[in-house]
Amino acid sequence: MIRIFKEFRKKLLPKSKFAKYISYAIGEIVLVVIGIVIALQIDGWKAQQETYQHESNILENLYRDLTATKKELLRDIKANQQSKENLELALQHLDNKTAYTTAMDTLFPAIANWESPLPTFTTYEIFKTEGIRIIRSKIIKDGVIKLHESTLGFIINDYDKAEWALFESVTLPFITKNLSYADQNGTVSLQPNNYTKLSQQSEFRNILTLAIALRSKGLVFYDASVRELDILLQLIQREIEENHSH
């Protein structure tokens, strides 16, 4: 009986070792799988952080360019507002039949002086190729596209071109015939060749009126652009701060 038990024990021993080996192998496999999962999670986290950083870089550059564009638009608004006021004052002198003074000469250049918009488009070119894919906020993407393609595009392609069309086809030929550029203590002026005759010309009044209308229309578009820019800059700033918090 004892001999039979010993034989059974001998048979059982290898099985016990095999079971331990299987358990060890399974444990090793589990550890390897856990290691792979952790590594993939780390890689995924790193990739996500790189994406956030890339997005932040584009957003920060956009913020910088849009800030520069806003400053440019504000300078344009100030200059064009002054130009419009000079035109209105010149027209008022004509309506009131004010006697000519050399001070009027500094008002007349406004018919040919306006500020053309010069927005910064550097990062927008990158945005069109990468930003649309990288930037997650649809509101920001739509806002950037609308600002550049529609709002600023209208000022550049419609308002500014209308100013140039009036200047080249009407204003410049009229100035060449009826006024002369001069310098008054460093200030550019336009002196009438004959003010009495000039003040009686309906063409001159029409030019002043058209220029005032264009400046007024341009200022409306400029103001709308700045308001739109302010909202977009706030959205971009919040998105940058959110990315930095990850």
91-138 tens-digit pLDDT: 999 999 999 999 999 999 999 999 999 898 888 888 888 777 888 889
Query: Do the beta carbons of residue 102 and residue 184 sit within 8 Å?
Result: yes
Q: What does the domain layout of the chain look like in residue ranges?
A: 2-244
Query: Do the beta carbons of residue 206 and residue 12 sit within 8 Å?
Result: no
Amino acid type, 98: T
pTM of the model: 0.77
Of the candidates 227, 187, 215, 223, the residue with the CA atom closest to the CA atom of residue 116: 215
SS3 call for 90: helix
- Which of the residue ranges 28-32, 72-76, 219-223 would you say has the lowest mean pLDDT? 28-32
